[in-house]
Structure 1
């Protein structure tokens, strides 16, 4: 429902609000996937990339219950990235500006999948963004890392993903660290781009990262260690998904 509050109210133009609270202290903004090209508007009735993110929204909502944390999704104008137009990144920047106006500049954590991961990384250095979780992000060669100095980035990628390249996301993670970002990258076995086969692991890792980035819980120790590594260091950049990485049950 597109409302400005839990009981209804002002309609958002660039956002789909999933959870709101009076005077939000923080916001989690979700960006779903899309396609390389496509000028049609995503369907509001059946949008498979958007539906894919609903379990993540529910998991984060459960983990932040009782906190003044709002959850929203970016509403794209177009299905595709569309080359130099970078439509999804433009929509993400507009959504952040809208949230800043609505919340007075509350901190934001981004969760983006595939094309949405690319868009999230493009705006990760924007004011008020305090962390980004990029799920199987699309990171083609030449993707900019300027402006990521001081950003906190968590990548998750299945090692045999055939839709978006794990090697390219690893390269970008390293370049982002070189640019001054705090970065880690979880590697999951298999090639599940849709995040269905190991859903519990995807959801738990994402939720723990979001809560840690918002300061609502501790970041898993391997993430803190990876974040502490200086530019030019590749040790500790890749983390295996497992119990030591904090993939246990999230709070219901």
Structure 2
């Protein structure tokens, strides 16, 4: 797995307080290698930047790794193995006390939710996730979880996300947010998606809130979902 963005620690010589790993989307089946310029990879650049800017004073590092291949590939669940390898590497380098927040889009969101059981993970945000019926939820126990989906998504199904949220609530607290008037690529209301990801990252590390309206939405773990 290739690391395509690795900003240095915010303050030289200050112990790292946490890491955010941003995971890009992909395809249902493909063994073609990923590239730095494919749209799914590029879409996460501004999200990683927004998170980094939001946490620039908090000694939080943001990583934007690239999956080895483009596809999920059925039982191989290719990106999950890649993410676990990244998490193992973080744990080996920084130790067991540095918490990790995962932020994924589409296939990357599915991979992030699967990998959330890793002992370093404290929180996971799934943006326009691909969560077909039967996706496991037990690994989310004790993790902070955000599920956000656009109501016009024609690639992955919002109703699958809301069903997944209900099942996940049996093992942990879940925030479910419906983004109105946007689809799978998160482009029509891009600024809102970026701000949501940044606000969730802030909350997951206990940093001060940015925009209170979004902070309130991210804190809402009640039944159903919040619309923004």
Asked if TM exceeds 0.5, the reply is yes
Aligned to 2:3: 15
Instruction: Give the TM-score taking structure 2 as reference length.
Output: 0.91
CA distance in structure 1 between the partners assigned to 2:175 and 2:63 by the alignment: 24
Task: For structure 2, list consecutive stretches of 5 or more residues without a partner in the other structure.
Answer: none
Aligned to 1:59: 50
Which of residues 107, 111, 136 in structure 2 aligns to 1:119? 111
Q: Larger radius of gyration, structure 1 or 2?
A: 1
Aligned to 1:144: 136
Alpha-carbon displacement from aligned partner over 1:138-196 (angstroms, at most 9, x marks no partner): 00111111222111110110012100000001111111111x11101110112421111
Which of residues 213, 216, 224 in structure 2 aligns to 1:221? 216
Mark the CA change 1:20 to 1:176 in structure 2 (over 3 Å): closer, same or farther: same
Deviation at 1:14, TM superposition (A): 4.7
Instruction: Give the TM-score taking structure 1 as reference length.
Output: 0.82
Aligned to 1:5: none
CA distance in structure 2 between the partners assigned to 1:101 and 1:89 by the alignment: 18
CA distance in structure 2 between the partners assigned to 1:164 and 1:225 by the alignment: 23
CA distance in structure 2 between the partners assigned to 1:147 and 1:43 by the alignment: 30
Which of residues 60, 75, 87 in structure 1 aligns to 2:78? 87
Alpha-carbon displacement from aligned partner over 1:83-126 (angstroms, at most 9, x marks no partner): 00000111111111111112113101111000000000001121
CA contact (8 A) 1:14 1:91 kept: no
Aligned to 1:8: none
Check if 1:212 corresponds to 2:203.
Answer: yes
Deviation at 1:216, TM superposition (A): 1.1
Mark the CA change 1:17 to 1:102 in structure 2 (over 3 Å): closer, same or farther: farther
Task: For structure 1, list consecutive stretches of 5 or more residues without a partner in the other structure.
Answer: 1-12, 230-234, 242-252
CA distance in structure 2 between the partners assigned to 1:58 and 1:17 by the alignment: 10
User: Which protein, 1 or 2, shows the higher relative CO under an 8 Å CA cutoff with sep ≥ 6?
Assistant: 2
Aligned to 2:147: 155
